Amino acid sequence: MARRRARVKDKWSMKKWYTLIAPEYFGLAEIGETPADDPQKVINRTVEVTLAELTNDYSNQNPYKKLIFKVYRVAGDNAYTKFHRFEMMREYINSLVRRRTSKIDDVIDVTTADGYVLRVKPVAFTIKRCKTSQKSAIRKIMREIITNNASQKNFVQFLQECILGRIPSEIYKNAKKIYPLRRVEIRKIELLSEPKKVEVEQPQEVKAVA
């Protein structure tokens, strides 16, 4: 006699789709969906979205700016995310490289005014090839501007000013005095650590002494 095959459960039919939600400082925009048969399996998943898709603004370099968010909480059908990483697409950075010019980059770890630790990677492109001493001077300006801005601003303010170009513009304005520049960008920002949440102790009831 032929054996009856055990019915195989369709794994996909057991899964539920969760809507991925951007952080509040990006408007709580819906940035995609992800399937899972258990909401806990959605925690720590990452999602990539360009700044153009996030803001519906395809001007300037927005299509080349990529944000990576990580899920930290699931509530109902929604999976809420927080910032994990920002980066300029490699093809865009490569398009800025020219022969007989200099590319000046750096890696700077900073702490924001509200305690977030970030690794920031700026890059500058000169019009012509410059000297080693000029590279060092430009790198010093990058480091001072990025470090000072981070220490004076909270995480959201600093992140937005890096991504939207205000801090690169400040670097450009000051560093071009050392040597003519063609472009300054923040090519990558990584979140290294978040401030620990301080638990407020509840005051204990004071009992009257008889």
Residue 15 has pLDDT above 60, yes or no: yes
Q: Identify which of 99, 146, 143, 150 has the alpha carbon closest to the alpha carbon of residue 125.
A: 99
Residues 59, 96: Cα–Cα separation, whole Å: 18
Kindly report the average pLDDT of the chain as a whole number.
90
User: What letters, b where the CB count within 10 A reaches 16 and e where it falls short, cover 2-38?
Assistant: eeeeeeeeeeeeeeeebebbbbeebeeeebbebebee
Q: Name the percent of the chain in helix, strand, coil, to the closest 5.
A: 30, 35, 35
> Per-residue confidence at 197, pLDDT binned at 50, 70, 90?
confident
Residue 7 has pLDDT above 80, yes or no: no
Residue 102 has pLDDT above 60, yes or no: yes
Map out the domains of the chain with their CATH numbers: 15-89 (no CATH), 96-195 (3.30.479.30)
CA 32 centroid distance within chain: 17
* pLDDT tens-digit readout, 76-101: 999 999 999 999 999 999 999 999 99
